[in-house]
Structure 1
Amino acid sequence: MDVAIVEKRAIQDISVTKDRLDTVGLEYEKITAMEMLTMKGYPSYKYYYNSIQFSFLDFEKYILGMSPENSLFVNTITGMMLDQLQPTFSNEDVTLQPIQGEKATVTASMRFYAGIYGILNLEASTLRDKDNFATLFKVGSSLGKAPSDRTALSQLGVSEKSKTRLSFWALDNALASQTLVDVAAQKNFFIQNAEVLNPLMQKMAVLQLQNLLTQGQMEAKLTEAKTALTAKLNELNKDGKIVSAEMVKANPNLSIEKQVELMTQLNEQVISISVAVLTKQQGAQEAAQELAAQTAQLAEVLPLLALDFNALNEAMKTAGEALSKQQGLEVLAQLGDVSSQLVDGGGLEVSYGIIMKNLEFLNKLTLMTNPEYNR
């Protein structure tokens, strides 16, 4: 079997010494590519004179017959703004799209120019709003009361009842920015309900630890805790805020029950591997690295897991310190520190914050072309 080696190039320059670059990054090449794809014709008088103003999105729509939902450019920019862009690779023999288990590096400069090119470069005067591709990325803002017919979100820590609340929302036909709002809204739902769900998640995690240490003697209580958590999640999901019926129908693994089951399995892996690391078992470090990569990817896709990881770390810290006072369990004093290396407890708020800052930036660009959307 032939094996091909694929080089993963660095985005930014990597300097080894003062006068030598070990690696020249591709950041500026990617930024230039985005500019070229959004240019409406080359900067030459003869093209403007003959009304030839054609961007890559025009090419996708009118030549390839692609809708914005399937646009390579729109999906790339959306992935960058969500910080969830997955890399691809292709040659004459194979196409890997996306490359499983990998995440593309997106810098602040790339997001900055993606917004500028997506709105300012693509802005056009059209007969139909949908033909102005800049609209796909536009975001409106409201001070105080937001439009009631769409989801409006604010930065972390801003009360939804505040009369001076600055909120952001997607314009009509703004497919890309609506995706950002939808993803952020789901994350915000869990952030707002963390006070209710955290105690239930922590209780289940502590029982899982006790069940491991007692070799299954806490199984009955663990089942009760799992049932209580599932019931509360189903109660919160009555309006489909966590997962809609349509999504479950399309993918049954997204049901509340399946997500709780996945959560339980991941908790068990994190706890058992954390204990293995502390007791210096063979192969524990390698298993820990693999699990850390897996949990990071899942937390991006399923906000429920991101919230659980925060509760898990808190539970392991508290339970580990308490159990370490018992003879023979002193090593568990560092259990919380090890588990926090396997799962990121702050990922949910960080991810939400990144998306909201991107929405805020897109709003500033939108107001340059449509100041009337600052309400």
Structure 2
Amino acid sequence: MQTRKLLIIEKNLIAHSGHYWTQVGQLKKILPKHSTHLLAGDCYDESFGRADAKISSRDIFIGRQIARIRHGSMAEKFRAGMRLAKKAKVSDLRGSSLLQGLRATAKRLSLSSQDIIVIPTADIDELEAAVQFVRHRDCSTPIHLRFVHHLLGETKELMLEKRLAAVRPLLSAQIHLYSETIEMADFLAQKYNIEVQGGFFMPCSLPPEQPIHVREKQDLFRVGVLGMARKDKGSSRIGPILDSLSELEESPRGLKSKLPIVFAIQPDTPDIADSPYYGNITRRDGLELHPASAGPDSFRVLLTSCDLLLLPYDLSEYRVRGSGLIQDAVAAGIPIVHTRGMAMQSFLDHGNALSAETPQEFAEAILKVARDPTKFKQGTSTAQTYYAKLLRSSPFVPPLDI
């Protein structure tokens, strides 16, 4: 019997960068009987072996300018045309280079209906390419696209709306659409009338079945502020939260933790005082600074040494999109303090998390966990069980008939 093939398309695939690389390993685990092939971006470092084909950043740029010429306003068409005049050749304008790369790779691999194409972090460019691939009947291989960002890689909502309106009538049963969160599926359906199936999660740094690391000596309470500092992650809110925590600890109310509270932070600059996000931190005692570029093993050790993860995320992004750190915290059995109204509520409603809005509310929630972490033990265990069950019943698995 001929071995079935799995073609993974991931433009951003770099070892140990974000969660792009962990998805490849998870897809191979989900489909162990398939031989794995990659269509990657030009930044790919061959950490999973040689790519069958690559798409250059230049080609992606040209494709997006062509999309603006097709769907943009007159001003956008003009600007896109000027950019193309500077960087593109006539031969570059034949069509989507992503589509051409997909066609060439599918032909070279002799893909059939028994094989599968998966785009684990798909955007509008890849959705358009998938639709055209199917429309031209290049092959009958099913294509599975998973969206993890509500703007699908676009920077303007109106442009995304126009591009989706053009794609929507061309969708077929050969194309399967998913989103990571249920909230994103609802958002895409209501705003753009695109039906996708929510709840397609894949493990990030930790699988939920992995034994939880417990520190032998519990001499402090470590709050994790992990990952690269960003505006949408609410990194600039850490300073005010620390100030509020100091005020509560020094107030007559006497709200104090049983153990010293330290904050494990991965700053974006060598000197935290120079950080555009963390430069407003005035409370410097109790800070642990860790490299932002830590490898996966170092990150897992840091993650599992935390007693609490702090996620003061911006709802303009995270009201519908998911967070890998929520998955990691749930997998490791770590309580979470997060912005009220975040997506992934099904991960956060087991008694394993507290929500907050203001710096004082965040500080009070941190103290509530720090004063008695045992109150959250049952909730974190229940959340971990939920996550493991969710992965086993992924909506991605049933259509594969494997």
TM-score interval, normalised by the smaller of the two chains: under 0.3
TM-score by length of 1: 0.26
Higher relative contact order (CA 8 A, sep 6+): 1
TM-score, normalised on structure 2?
0.25
Compare the two structures and name the one with the higher strand fraction: 2
Larger radius of gyration: 1
Structure having the larger proportion of residues in helix:
1
